[in-house]
Amino acid sequence: MDYPVFDYYPRGTPLLRSDRIDDAMDEALSGGASAGAALDAMEDAQVDQLRDDDAFAQEMREAYATAGVNLVSPTMGSLNPALTYAEGVRRDLARWQARIDALDWMQKVTSPEAARAVVDDGHVGIVLNVQNGGAATAGDVSEVDVLHNAGVQIVQLTYNSRNLVGTGCTERTDSGLSYHGVDVVERLQERGMVVDLSHCGTQTTLDAIAIAEKPVAVTHAFSQSLAAHDRGKSDEELDALADVDGYYGVVAVPFFLDPGNPDAEFDLFFDNIEYAVDRIGIDRVGIGTDWGSWTPEIPEPLRSGLEESFSGMGFRAEHGVEVGVGYGPMSSYEDWQVIPEGLEERGFSPEEQRKLLGENVLKFWERAR
């Protein structure tokens, strides 16, 4: 693509398999490692192969090109239960730096201007994110500076459960943003980082919008008016987001868009885009597929273990998380091109498609800095 195409993509890289990567998984599992630890072993093996196998690195480049995505926001962290959340974030930051160092076509992006330059050069830009800011900073607001210095640009305040910053969307009650959470929001915005409210509870979301001095984001969610699921956002939250000229990305997760149904209709994804455009305007909506942690690319030996990991992260049985499923015509990340095709079929003009696919998020990022 010769224009920005952005996705909030927690995995970050297409999950290409090789003998080396599968051997790393098998060795970890045979040694009694958890599914999360085995997945980490696969990621370490991938980094090594990107360093010394030019053909594998080219295969990775071609996978991004096939998907058509040139700006990716991966989540820093690990599903290894032996690590604290903060430890997992630090290890993954090092792993991503190793990828970027190994590949001349992959670049860390720390500003919207840099993002545009990467796209113009025909490269892949990496916008680092953290999905549980309260756990990553562990009660110390100065840890925001550590994340910023490592290149993290997007910080979600909470994941599903309550942390020291605020309350997540699947918690039993929502007490809103804490005083420490107010400090974290202020520090994030002082550093020009994006405050992300995707997994936050309703009151925490509204509190953060109210105290923030710059626009904030919901990078990957969907409308509760179309799907009654804890991970969704209410009209009240969407309206508040629009009032501060924020940004809203729509997920492509079947069992969220049709609660508990892994075989949900793909049209629901575009229904959510249209709903958001009608509610908050064409200039504030984009794509955040949330792809990669639950999809068919995940090896079968890891799936049940990763489902258990998600249960430990605040997803209860009624939330319907299932690992190993695709969504409609998408069974791998390389199928991403069905999204712009679907936007065209829904009648969005070429200019509107460019906004939804990437221009909106970059203009929001400019407003939020």
Q: What is the pLDDT of residues 175-204, one digit of tens each?
A: 999 999 999 999 999 999 999 999 999 999
Other CB atoms within 10 A of residue 240 CB: 21
Which tens digits make up the pLDDT trace of 332-346? 999 999 999 999 999
Q: Determine the length of the chain.
A: 369
Answer for the pair 273, 285: CB distance below 8 angstroms, yes or no: yes
Distance separating alpha carbons of residues 222 and 198, to the nearest angstrom: 9
Phi/psi at 196 (5° precision): -110, 130
Kindly state the DSSP code that residue 333 receives in the 8-state scheme: G
Percent composition of the chain: helix, strand, coil (DSSP 3-state, to 5): 50, 10, 40
Q: Beta partners for 201?
A: none
Domain ranges of the chain: 6-17+54-368
Answer for the pair 133, 184: CB distance below 8 angstroms, yes or no: yes
pLDDT of residue 197: 98
Which tens digits make up the pLDDT trace of 33-85? 999 999 999 999 999 999 999 999 999 999 999 999 999 999 999 999 999 99
Kindly state the DSSP code that residue 356 receives in the 8-state scheme: I
Of 252, 249, 238, 217, the residue nearest 333 (C-alpha): 252
The answer, as to whether pTM is greater than 0.95, is: yes
- Burial classification of residue 349, based on how many CB atoms lie within 10 Å of its CB (0-12 exposed, 13-18 middle, 19 or more buried): exposed
For 191-234, where are the alpha helices, taking DSSP H only? 202-211
Answer for the pair 192, 202: CB distance below 8 angstroms, yes or no: no
Instruction: Quote the mean pLDDT of the chain.
Output: 97
Find tokens 């804490």 and name the residue. 178
Confidence of residue 2 (pLDDT cuts 50, 70, 90): confident
Find tokens 């149904």 and name the residue. 261
Find tokens 């562990």 and name the residue. 138
CATH 1.10.150.120 fits 6-17+54-368, yes or no: no
Distance separating alpha carbons of residues 207 and 155, to the nearest angstrom: 16
pLDDT of residue 22: 98
Question: Is the per-residue pLDDT at 1 higher than 90?
Answer: no
Distance separating alpha carbons of residues 210 and 8, to the nearest angstrom: 24
Which tens digits make up the pLDDT trace of 85-104? 999 999 999 999 999 999 99
Phi/psi at 241 (5° precision): -65, -45
pLDDT of residue 281: 98
Distance separating alpha carbons of residues 7 and 71, to the nearest angstrom: 7
Tokens of 341: 């095709």
Phi/psi at 70 (5° precision): -120, 0
Tokens of 68: 């058509």
